[in-house]
């Protein structure tokens, strides 16, 4: 999750599909060779009686307001400076006000949450020369501000940058539990990290309490989350649960978005694992009719021929 939106990546080493606020793109490569390509998916052409494919952006939940205690008290600092200037020039009583606002400013800069964020950001620079000390500094900072979703998310981002993905997931889990508003955006980000780590049980455990409240008929973001949840169930060997989840997706629509095409692919995998091969083939035929070049289509075909969905999972780190 960044300033421009949120995204989630499905797939493994050598192949991946990324869904996000800017649309969808596929990446493929041969591990260890440096050969790599990426392509943004576009809508299928009209005509020929094909189902149309659209790729609207996944709606991002409204970001919560900045958490109290995490922002620098710049307004109080400016007020203190102005009152001090007035006090020394024409209004000596203003010095009393400057003393009060100065104390508030000092308290703001000493806020445990603000200090923790500064320490985590400083650790990013330290990690280049002393990674162990930087990691410990981040853990200590996050522990001192354990009630701050902002600090926990910042700690998660730090460990993602350090490529310690399972540790990052611990902090993502805390941030999600503390999140003051709609947590779906940060959940989508965390699921992408869990997928990269091969930690599909984490996806299931994190999303399961929220699955019942999701409304895939109204939100492509919910479609993406339910698709990630269903895929995780297939990978861990629960195709029956995955199939029940995909029943909630509006896959009967004629205008299929990219997340819905992914949902059809996941449903096909679940059906194939349950022995319903003819029905699985019909789902793939719908994907083919919508977009014969849909990258996930060939990958699902290969998995079905291999008789396993486990190859979807990247190797655990």
What's residue 199's pLDDT? 93
Residue 202 phi/psi, 5-degree rounding, is -65, -40
DSSP-assigned states of every residue in 181-244: S--HHHHHHHHHHHHHHT-HHHHHHHHHHHHTT--TTT-HHHHHHHHHHHHHHHHTT-HHHHHH
Distance between CA atoms of residues 162 and 105, nearest Å: 34
Q: Which domains does the chain have, with CATH numbers?
A: 1-62+182-317 (1.25.40.10), 74-109 (no CATH)
SS3 132: helix
How much is the average pLDDT of 10-20?
59
Tell me the pTM: 0.71
How much is the average pLDDT of 148-169?
95
Mean per-residue pLDDT of the chain = 80
> In this predicted model, what pLDDT tens digit does every residue of 182-224 receive, in sequence order?
899 899 899 989 988 989 999 999 999 999 999 999 888 999 9
What's residue 15's pLDDT? 54
Answer yes or no: is pLDDT of 61 > 70.
no
Judge whether 263 and 227 are in contact, CB under 8 Å. Answer: yes
What's residue 309's pLDDT? 52
Q: What is residue 2's DSSP assignment?
A: B
- For the chain, the straight-line distance linking the first and the last C-alpha, in angstroms and rounded, comes to 22
> In this predicted model, what pLDDT tens digit does every residue of 224-259 receive, in sequence order?
999 999 989 998 999 999 999 999 999 998 888 888
Answer yes or no: is pLDDT of 53 > 50.
no
Centroid of chain to Cα 197: 13
């Amino acid at each position: 999750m960044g300033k421009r939106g949120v995204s989630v990546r499905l797939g493994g080493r050598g192949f991946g599909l990324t869904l996000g606020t800017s649309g969808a793109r596929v990446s493929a490569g041969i591990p260890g060779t440096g050969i790599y390509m990426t392509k943004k998916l576009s809508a299928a052409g009209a005509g020929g009686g094909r189902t149309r494919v659209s790729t609207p952006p996944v709606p991002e939940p409204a970001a919560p307001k900045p958490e109290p205690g995490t922002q620098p008290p710049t307004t109080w600092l400016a007020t203190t400076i102005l009152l001090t200037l007035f006090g020394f020039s024409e209004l000596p009583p203003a010095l009393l006000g400057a003393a009060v606002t100065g104390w508030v400013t000092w308290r703001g800069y000493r806020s445990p949450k603000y200090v923790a964020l500064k320490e985590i950001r400083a650790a990013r620079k330290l990690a280049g020369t002393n990674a162990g000390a930087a990691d410990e500094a981040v853990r200590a900072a996050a522990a001192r501000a354990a009630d701050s979703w902002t600090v926990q998310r910042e700690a998660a981002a730090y460990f993602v940058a350090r490529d310690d993905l399972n540790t990052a997931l611990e902090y993502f889990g805390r941030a999600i539990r503390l999140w003051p508003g709609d947590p779906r955006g940060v959940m989508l980000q965390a699921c992408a990290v869990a997928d990269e780590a091969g930690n599909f049980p984490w996806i299931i455990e994190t999303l399961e309490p929220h699955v019942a409240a999701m409304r895939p008929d109204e939100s492509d973001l919910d479609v993406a989350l339910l698709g990630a949840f269903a895929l995780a169930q297939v990978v861990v060997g629960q195709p029956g649960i995955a199939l029940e989840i995909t029943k909630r997706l509006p896959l009967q629509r004629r205008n299929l978005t990219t997340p819905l095409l992914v949902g059809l692919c996941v449903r096909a995998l679940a059906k194939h694992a349950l022995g319903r091969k003819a029905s699985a083939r019909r789902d793939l035929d719908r994907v083919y009719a919508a977009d014969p070049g849909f990258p996930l289509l060939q990958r699902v075909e290969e998995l079905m021929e291999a008789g396993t969905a486990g190859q979807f999972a990247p190797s655990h780190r």
